[in-house]
Chain A
Amino acid sequence: MAGDYPDDLRYTTSDEWVRREGDEMVSGITSFAAEQLGDVVYLQLPESGNHYDAGQTYGEIESVKAVSDLYFPLAGTVAAANADLDQNPGLVNEEPYGLGWMLRFRPDNPGDYDSLLSAQDYEQSTKDRH
Chain B
Amino acid sequence: MTEPLIFELSSPGRKAYSLPALDVPEVPLTELIPEPYLRKTPAQLPELSEPDVVRHFTHLSKLNYSIDSGFYPLGSCTMKYNPKINEVAVSQPGWKDIHPLQAQSTVQGALRLMVELQELLAAISGMDAFTLQPAAGAHGELTGLFIIQAYHRARGEMRDQIIAPNSSHGTNPASAAMIGAQLVTVGTDERGRVNIEELRSLVNERTAALMLTNPSTLGLFEEDVVEMADIVHRAGGLMYYDGANMNAIMGVARPGDMGFDVVHLNLHKTFTTPHGGGGPGAGPVGVKQFLAGYLPVPVPTRRDGVYILDADRPESIGKVRSFYGNFGMLVRAFTYIRRMGSDGLGQVSRDAVLAANYVRARLNDLYPQAYPGTNMHEVVLSGRGLREHGVRTLDLAKRLMDYGFHSPTVYFPLIVDEALMIEPTETENKDTLDAFVDAMRAIAAEAEVNPEVVTSAPHSAPVGRLDEARAARKPNLRWRPGGDQEPAQVPPAGEEKPLGV
When C-beta atoms are compared, the residue in chain B nearest to A89 turns out to be: B473
Residues of A within 8 A of B469 (CB): 38-41, 64, 90
Q: How far is the CA of A67 from the CA of B472 in the complex (A)?
A: 13
**Contacting pair B468 A130 (CB below 8 A):** no
CB neighbours (8 Å) of A86 from chain B are: 490, 492-493
Which of B394, B414, B472, B492 has most chain A Cβ within 10 Å?
A: B472
Q: How far is the CB of A57 from chain B (nearest CB, A)?
A: 11
Per-residue interface assignment for chain B, residues 437 to 481, with 1 indicating a CB less than 8 Å from any chain A CB and 0 otherwise: 000000000000000000000000000000011001100000000
- Contact yes or no, A66 B499, CB < 8 A: no
A62 with B490: CB separation less than 8 A: no
A41 near B417: Cβ-Cβ < 8 Å: no
Complex alpha-carbon distance, A78 and B469, angstroms:
29
Check: B95 CB closer than 8 A to any chain A CB: no
Whether B501 contacts A67 by the Cβ 8 Å rule is: yes
The answer to whether B497 has its CB under 8 Å from any CB of chain A is yes
Q: How far is the CA of A12 from the CA of B24 in the complex (A)?
A: 79
| Docked complex Cα distance between A126 and B490 (Å) | 34
Contact A44 to B493, CB < 8 A, known contacts A66-B414, A90-B473: yes
Residues of A within 8 A of B494 (CB): 44
Residues of chain A in range 18-60 having any CB-CB distance to chain B below 8 Å: 38-45
By beta carbon, the residue of chain B nearest A62 is B497
Given A64-B468, A130-B417: A41 and B493 interface contact (C-beta under 8 Å): no
Residues in B483-501 with C-beta less than 8 Å from chain A: 490, 492-494, 497-499, 501
- State whether A66 touches B411 (Cβ < 8 A): yes
B:371-422 near A, CB below 8 Å: 384, 394, 411, 414, 417
Q: Mark A78-90, 1 if CB is under 8 A from B, else 0.
A: 0000000011011
Bound complex: CA of A44 vs CA of B493, how far in Å? 7
Task: Give residues of chain A (60-75) contacting chain B, Cβ–Cβ below 8 Å.
Answer: 62, 64-67
Residues of chain A lying within 8 A (CB to CB) of residue B411 = 65-66
The answer for the CA separation of A65 and B418 in the assembled complex, in Å, is 10
In the bound complex, what is the Cα–Cα distance between A41 and B417 (angstroms)?
A: 20
Say yes or no: A64 contacts B492, CB within 8 Å. Answer: no
A45 to B494, CA, bound (A): 9
B501 to A, closest residue via Cβ: A67
Residue of A nearest to B498 (CB): A42
**B490 contacts A87, CB within 8 Å?**
yes
Chain B contacts for A40, CB-based, 8 A: 469
Known contacts: A64-B469, A64-B472, A90-B473. The answer to whether A41 contacts B492 by CB under 8 A is: no
Q: Contacting B472 at CB < 8 Å: which of A42, A43, A45, A66?
A: A42
- Knowing A64-B468, A86-B490, A90-B469, say if A41 contacts B498 (CB, 8 Å): yes
Tell me, rounded to whole Å, the shortest Cβ–Cβ distance linking A43 to chain B. 8
Q: Is the CB of A41 within 8 A of B414?
A: no
CA distance A111 to B494 in the complex (A): 33
Chain A residue at minimum C-beta to C-beta distance from B412: A66
- The chain B residue with its CB closest to the CB of A88 is B473
Question: In whole angstroms, how far apart are the Cα atoms of A59 and B494 in the complex?
Answer: 11
| Residues of B close to A43: CB separation below 8 A | 493
B473 near A41: Cβ-Cβ < 8 Å:
yes
Chain A residues closer than 8 Å to B468, beta-carbon distance:
39, 64
Contact check, A42 vs B417: say whether CB atoms are below 8 A apart. Answer: no
Which residue of B is nearest A83, CB measured?
B493
The 7 A-B pairs with the shortest beta carbon distances in the complex, nearest first, are A39-B469, A41-B472, A64-B468, A65-B411, A41-B473, A86-B493, A42-B497
Can you sample 30 A-B contacts with CB below 8 Å? A38-B394, A39-B469, A39-B472, A40-B469, A41-B469, A41-B472, A41-B473, A41-B498, A41-B499, A42-B473, A42-B497, A42-B498, A43-B493, A44-B493, A44-B494, A45-B493, A62-B497, A62-B501, A64-B468, A64-B469, A64-B472, A65-B411, A66-B411, A66-B414, A67-B501, A89-B473, A90-B469, A90-B473, A130-B384, A130-B417
Chain A residues near B (Cβ < 8 Å): 38-45, 62, 64-67, 86-87, 89-90, 130
Q: A40-B469, A86-B493, A130-B384 are in contact. List 11 more A-B contacts (CB 8 A).
A: A39-B472, A41-B469, A41-B498, A42-B472, A44-B493, A44-B494, A45-B493, A62-B497, A66-B414, A67-B501, A89-B473
